[in-house]
Every structure is written in structure tokens, then in C-alpha cells.
Amino acid sequence: MIVRSIPVDVARISLAMVMTDPARATDMDGRPRADREGLALYQTDVAVSVVGGGASVIRVRTRGEPPRVAQGMLARIGGLTATPWEIEGRSGITYDAEALTAAPTPTAPAGPAPAAPVPAGGPAGPPPAPAGAGAPGASGPGGRPAGRGQ
């Protein structure tokens, strides 16, 4: 099988969120992996949503220093390629990126000022006092003045 890397159009990714902190890639025996130039390989799981499509979690591999991203952060993926592979009856796709960086945090759009806080008793004021426990002139059951020989 001829191995061919396919460039991925990252402009179609509408959202990328880091799902796992970057970790050093290891081989089947647990030894740290490096590329052909001796640079350390790191892998980070990233949830990606594609314009006009669904969402997937992909494992993005980077080289050199570990990406400065953490779980839950929005991210940007630069120079992403997909390489299909097949070894001993197993197959998959390896995603390599030139860069995996933190994306700027989105800001809320400008709009009307937030509403004033609602008073403790609600918008109409405090709740009515229970019958018989009120202020002077309050009426009790049956409309009689409260507190007078009911």
C-alpha cells in the first residue's frame, strides 16, 4: 500500500475543542515515539465540528514541543493532514498537524444592556403579609379588623 498524506481543509472546521491534555505518543511497548528527525511526538484528542456535517473526535499528532492547550479549551489546528494506514489487518487514519494552538475565547456580541436586578419580593414588590399578622388597619378573615375578638 502506498502511504499518501491528504491535506485537510481546516477552514471547514467550525469548532475544535481539546478533549484530552497533550500526551507523549508511545509505541506498542510504551516507549516514547519520535519522528524521523528525532522530534518528540505528542497526541491530543480534539472534538471537531465540520460546517454542514457532524462532529467527530480525532487524535491529532504534533511534533517537537507539546502543544500549549488543555482539556476544555477551544483550539486552532494548523497544517492538518490525514494519512490512511493498514498494518497486520488493522487500519485507521493518522491526523498530523503542524500546530495545535489555543483559540481566542469568543466574546458576547454587543447588545442591549442587561436588565436591572429584580427585587427580593419580585417585580411587584414584597409578598402580602399573612392575615392577622399585619400592619395597623389590616383586615382579618371575613374582612373584620385583624386582632379584635375574631
d(CA 33, CA 2): 22
Q: Quick: pLDDT tens for 61-102.
A: 999 999 999 999 999 999 999 999 998 999 999 999 999 999
Q: Which three cell numbers stand for residue 132?
A: 392577622
Q: Quick: pLDDT tens for 10-56.
A: 999 999 999 999 999 999 899 999 999 999 999 999 999 999 889 99
Strands of the chain, DSSP E: 6-7, 13-18, 23-24, 41-50, 55-63, 75-78, 81-87, 90-96, 99-102
Number of domains in the chain: 1
User: 0.95 exceeded by the pTM?
Assistant: no
pLDDT over 90 at 111, yes or no: no
Report yes or no on 49 lying in a domain.
yes
d(CA 150, CA 139): 11
The per-residue pLDDT for 150 is 45
The per-residue pLDDT for 143 is 53
CATH code of residue 19: 2.40.50.140
Report yes or no on 67 lying in a domain.
yes
CA distances from 135 to 2, 10, 21, 132, 142 (A): 90, 70, 63, 9, 17
- Domain span at residue 50 reads 6-102
Cβ atoms of 140 and 147 within 8 Å: the answer is yes
Instruction: Give the residue among 2, 61, 59 at the shortest CA–CA distance from 34.
Output: 61
More confident residue, 125 or 109: 109
Report yes or no on 134 lying in a domain.
no
Q: pLDDT exceeding 90 applies to what percent of the chain?
A: 63
Report yes or no on 147 lying in a domain.
no
- As a residue count, the chain comes to 150
Report yes or no on 16 lying in a domain.
yes
